[in-house]
Structure 1
Amino acid sequence: MGDGPSIVGIGGTTRPGSSTEMLVRAVLGECEMLGAHTQMFAGAELLALPHYNPGEPQRTDGQRALVEAARGADGFVIGTPGYHGSVSALVKNAIDLLEDTRTDARVYMDGCPVGQIVSAAGWQATGVTLSALRDIIHSLRGWPTPIGIGVNTIVQRPFDESGAIIDESIAGAVKLQAQQVMEHVRGTHMRRAAK
């Protein structure tokens, strides 16, 4: 996949091409322009994952692919719709699979920057879901980027019909989040090399 850092995207909804999925892909695209290679686990892949069951050691191909990508990741971008004040079950189920890394040398998202994206029908849902997502990232030992992207789909139209970002503030936030992810990754690599 190349020599650049690996950034894994997780997010979307049951609807292919949702604004949540497209926003994660946009941040990953900016990361690629900054030298990363990326892998995306979008709504279709997340929908195919069985419910996480810690008592069941057998994993599907999709579950194994997600866990292996997470093991090799230098950073993450996670996007979720705001459903009833929190992260969607679809996205949370995928995140819960990272429990399979609990005995690894690097557990969960330890030391990795994690960009957060929330799209919801209202500012309250956007804000509380972004806060919930940050708490989840902290519990997985990840470093949430200072900028989280919250999109109120009632008043903001992020994309045109071709999928290009048309809202300048969202485009700026996407670019800044990618920069923050990549700067953290580079700093982490420099600190490890200095040891």
Structure 2
Amino acid sequence: MTEGDKPLVVGIGGTIGAVSSTERALRIALDAACDQGFRTRMFGGADMARLPLYDPRATSRTDHEREFVDTVRQASAVIIASPGYHGSISGVVKNALDLLEETAKDQRPYLADMPVGLIATAYGWQATGSTIAALRSIVHALRGWPTPFAAAINTQVTKFDDGGGASDPAVLEQLRLVGRQVARFAPLVERP
């Protein structure tokens, strides 16, 4: 099987600015899916910052918007990682997900029938739970299937490094579990 023939897992998440804990967590989960034989594509904070605010009335889309939507259309699974901002998901992650409205009339609209792994990072525990709950609700609205396990990471306690590691081995395993679960359920997805 060539690289292009492998099923695709798309990662969406991060923050604008430097590489964030959220992006590092997402990368660990995507690497676990890659270890299961999937190719991956991550849309991090810098990618999402290039997406204009979603306008449902727009008659054309930017190259960045088209690339994002077309890549998600090709996906067999998605992993969404968001920092917990004021008890919910970040604006850039929500804006990217809103752009999936472009798929509403597709044979497979939105995230229909796709496994979707979820990761929330926050500086404290309270926002991790509410962010995961918000992500689950959004995935349900987009007709996706949140995987049974979601990783909630308190970045006040767990620190990530540039080499793809984290200070807590249990957090590493939780993130890898998210990646393995989307890989396990992705073959069940019937692509259009």
Range with bigger deviation, 64-73 or 172-181? 172-181
Aligned mates of 1:86, 1:75 — CA distance in 2: 23
Give the superposition deviation at 1:2. Answer: 2.1
Give the superposition deviation at 1:163. Answer: 3.6
Aligned mates of 1:54, 1:142 — CA distance in 2: 21
Please tell me the residue identity of whatever aligns with 2:71: A
Aligned equivalent of 1:137: 139
Which whole-Å deviations, capped at 9, do the CAs of 1:134-153 have from their partners, x for residues lacking one?
A: 10000000011111111111
Aligned mates of 1:75, 1:83 — CA distance in 2: 25
Aligned mates of 2:24, 2:30 — CA distance in 1: 10
Aligned mates of 1:99, 1:161 — CA distance in 2: 34
Aligned equivalent of 2:122: 120
Which whole-Å deviations, capped at 9, do the CAs of 1:30-89 have from their partners, x for residues lacking one?
A: 111110011111100101110000001211111000000011110001111000111100
Aligned mates of 1:67, 1:154 — CA distance in 2: 34
Give the superposition deviation at 1:162. Answer: 3.3
Please tell me the residue identity of whatever aligns with 2:19: G
Aligned mates of 1:152, 1:188 — CA distance in 2: 32
Aligned equivalent of 1:168: 169
Which whole-Å deviations, capped at 9, do the CAs of 1:119-148 have from their partners, x for residues lacking one?
A: 011111110011001100000000111111
Cα gap change, 1:85/1:32 in structure 2, threshold over 3 Å: closer, same or farther?
same
What is the percent sequence identity of the aligned residues? 46
Aligned mates of 2:174, 2:106 — CA distance in 1: 33
Aligned mates of 2:59, 2:119 — CA distance in 1: 31
Aligned mates of 2:93, 2:184 — CA distance in 1: 25
Aligned mates of 1:155, 1:170 — CA distance in 2: 10
Please tell me the residue identity of whatever aligns with 1:49: L
CA contact (8 A) 2:76 2:187 kept: no
Other structure's SS at 1:39 match: strand
Other structure's SS at 1:86 match: coil
Other structure's SS at 2:165 match: coil
Please tell me the residue identity of whatever aligns with 2:11: G
Within a 5 Å distance, the mapping from 1:75-114 to structure 2 comes to 75-114=77-116
Give the superposition deviation at 1:109. Answer: 0.3
Pair 1:180 & 2:181 matched: yes
Aligned length: 189
Higher relative contact order (CA 8 A, sep 6+): 2
Cα gap change, 1:161/1:102 in structure 2, threshold over 3 Å: closer, same or farther?
closer
Cα gap change, 1:176/1:162 in structure 2, threshold over 3 Å: closer, same or farther?
closer
- The TM-score, its normalising length taken from structure 1, stands at 0.93
Structure 1 unaligned segments of length 5 or more: list them: none
Aligned equivalent of 1:72: 74
Aligned mates of 1:183, 1:163 — CA distance in 2: 22
- The TM-score, its normalising length taken from structure 2, stands at 0.94
